[in-house]
Amino acid sequence: MASQTHPQSLFPLQKMTLVKTELSLSKLVIPTKPITNEQLSTYHEALSYVATDYKNQLNPDVNRICYETLNNEQCESFSGLTKQQIQQLATEYNLTEQNIFLFYTKCNTDNSDRLPGTMFGMSHQLISRCFNQCIEDPYNSLVSDELGVNSWNRKNINEHTPQFAKDLLQIDPNNVVVCMDGFPIYIEKPGDFALQKLTWSSQTLRNCVKFHCITTLDGTFVGIQGSYGATGHNNEETIIDSLTNNNYLFDTEDNEVNIYHNNMTQTLFFKNVLQDNDILILDRRYTRMKKRHYQIKTLQSIPKSKTHLSTKQANESRFLVTFHRNVVERAIGRLKKWKLLQNRVVYQYVSKLHEIVSILVSTINKFDGPLYKDPLNKYKYIKTIVQHISDSQNELQELTNKNQSHLWKLVARNRNKIID
């Protein structure tokens, strides 16, 4: 386990893989000698497939849903993707349309394997196998095209930064700006006591795992880091410290205790893309992070001796941080639209949760548009807003101070038009 100065990872869980057995039903024989429990389980699974196929042949008239007969609207209500989008994924990455449909249907509905098995005339074991197989294939193809340093460089990030944001933040042409935030995903209570402690969050009072995401200023995902534990040693501060600590990152290849030892790709963005003086827009949970060579923009806190922020501090927090951090919050909300991530994730999928989240994030990047576009009518207000940010004069306060002796009364401009 990593020391308390760095976040604790759930990566060892991801080494757990489901054992695949290629069964030939034509060679199935009834065992005549004593067999082990593992052999009996395999035999029982194969027998279940045979029984399901035989049952379907006996009841050919039972109404079942077939993927080929679904139209776009029906396909989207099940899987969250249109039929053209599923066909596009199958064509570009050499995947099976039905497996893609079953995977996204599971993510979009979060039903047990038995329900879609009954609906589509398949055994729940086969549904589970298709789901797990479809985790591996898109993760090795779709994710590599949409996330990470293979698809994101400084030029691409700059193209996904709206010009309005560049002018408002006064970004140097040689620098880039990104948003970062963390979010939890709730899971079932693990049976292992050590994992119970590692995934228990004293903030939400539930078992969960944490992820860390990077987005551009138009809401497009750049990278996903995780999954991390949910204890107090796994907050945004320790996560960003571990990702930006050069000595810790250079140690990932040789040190097996390092939490990124087998997940070096998650650290490459900080090694190869970000440079000195780049701008990171963060929230207050990153306030105590160790000083780096980046420009950190976070919400300012009220000093102990004051009752409120100064006018300049409030303007900077409002226009330079809150206005731009809106996209990362909305991007996480768009990710949580998948019901598999809204509810508690069953324990059998916790070991593959990083792959599932990465696939869904890549799907959003591929098919959903940006969350923020350049507004044409706002360019004329850039100079006014920038001047207003640096202005320390509170006009409302001065107006009230000059007219303290007057009686103030709020009057609606359209009170004559109001109908009781």
Q: Are residues 311 and 184 in the same domain?
A: yes
Lowest mean pLDDT among 8-12, 31-35, 202-206, 346-350: 31-35
CB neighbourhood size of 63 (10 A): 6
- Could you tell me the residue range of the domain that residue 99 belongs to? 67-140
Distances (CA, A) of 137 to 46, 118, 133, 339: 24, 25, 7, 21
Residue 198 shares a structural domain with residue 76: no
- pLDDT for the residue numbered 85: 93
407: left (phi over 0), alpha (psi -120 to 50) or beta: beta
pLDDT higher than 60, residue 271: yes
Residue 281's SS3 state is: strand
> Measured between alpha carbons, how far apart are the two ends of the chain, in Å?
67
13 in helix, strand or coil? helix
CB 166 within 8 A of CB 159: no
On whether both 190 and 331 belong to a single domain, the answer is: yes
Q: Can you give the pLDDT at residue 266?
A: 84
Distances 372 to 71, 178, 213, 325 between C-alpha atoms, Å: 31, 14, 18, 11
Residue 361 lies inside a defined structural domain of this protein:
yes
**310 within a domain of the structure (yes/no):** yes
pLDDT tens per residue, range 334-360: 999 999 999 899 888 888 899 999 999
What gap in Å lies between CA 312 and CA 419, rounded to an integer? 41
Higher pLDDT, 328 or 127: 328
Mean pLDDT throughout 381-397? 68
Q: pLDDT-derived band of residue 169, with 50, 70 and 90 as boundaries?
A: confident
Q: Same structural domain for residues 261 and 338?
A: yes
The pLDDT value recorded for residue 207 is: 92
Quote the CA–CA distance of 408 and 209 in Å, as a whole number: 53
The two structure tokens encoding residue 357: 């989240």
Q: Where do the H-state alpha helices sit in 200-336? A: 236-244, 246-250, 268, 311-316, 323-335
- Note whether 112 and 90 are same-domain residues: yes
Does the residue 62 lie in any domain? no
Pair (154, 130) in one structural domain? no
Are 242 and 338 contained in the same domain?
yes
pLDDT on residue 147: 92
What residues are paired with 280 via a beta bridge? 178, 296
| Residue 397, domain member (yes or no) | no
Whether residues 221 and 85 fall in one domain: no
The DSSP element (H or E) to which 178 belongs, if any, is strand 177-186
Mean pLDDT of 183-196: 89
* Measured distance CA(95)–CA(101) in Å, rounded: 11
What is residue 273's DSSP assignment? Answer: I
Per-residue pLDDT, averaged over 55-82, amounts to 74
pLDDT at 311 over 80: no
Instruction: Say which DSSP state 270 is in.
Output: I
| Contact call for residues 249 and 271 (beta carbons, < 8 A) | yes
Pick the most confident of 162-176, 364-378, 398-412.
162-176
**Judgement on whether residues 310 and 163 belong to the same structural domain of the protein:** yes
Same domain? For 98 and 173 the reply is no
d(CA 291, CA 295): 10
CB count within 10 Å of CB 12 equals 12
User: Is residue 416 assigned to a domain?
Assistant: no
Is the confidence at residue 150, as pLDDT, over 80? yes
- pLDDT given at position 17: 35
Instruction: Give the pLDDT score at 239.
Output: 87
- Please state the domain count of the chain: 2
Is pLDDT at 292 greater than 60 in this prediction? yes
pLDDT at residue 38 in the model? 60
Q: What's the CA gap between 324 and 162, in Å, rounded?
A: 10
Is residue 131 packed enough to be buried (19+ CB in 10 Å), middle (13-18) or exposed (0-12)? buried
Quick check: 331 pLDDT over 90? Answer: yes
Q: How confident is the model at residue 36 (pLDDT cuts 50, 70, 90)?
A: low
Mean pLDDT computed over every residue of the chain: 79
Question: Is residue 330 pLDDT above 90, yes or no?
Answer: yes
Six token digits for residue 43: 């035999």
Answer yes or no: do 93 and 178 share one domain.
Answer: no
The predicted pLDDT at position 367 comes to 94
Average pLDDT over residues 216-222: 94
- Give yes or no: residues 173 and 203 share one domain: yes
Does residue 419 surpass a pLDDT of 90?
no
State the number of CA atoms in the 13 A half-sphere of 107 facing the CB. Answer: 29
Question: Could you report the per-residue pLDDT of 242-269, keeping only the tens digit for each?
Answer: 888 877 777 777 777 777 767 778 888 8
> Residues 263, 266, 268, 274: what is their CA dihedral angle, to the nearest 10 degrees?
-160
pLDDT per position as a tens digit, 69-126: 888 888 888 899 999 999 999 999 998 888 899 899 999 988 888 877 777 777 878 8
Q: In 10 A of CB 280, how many CB atoms?
A: 21
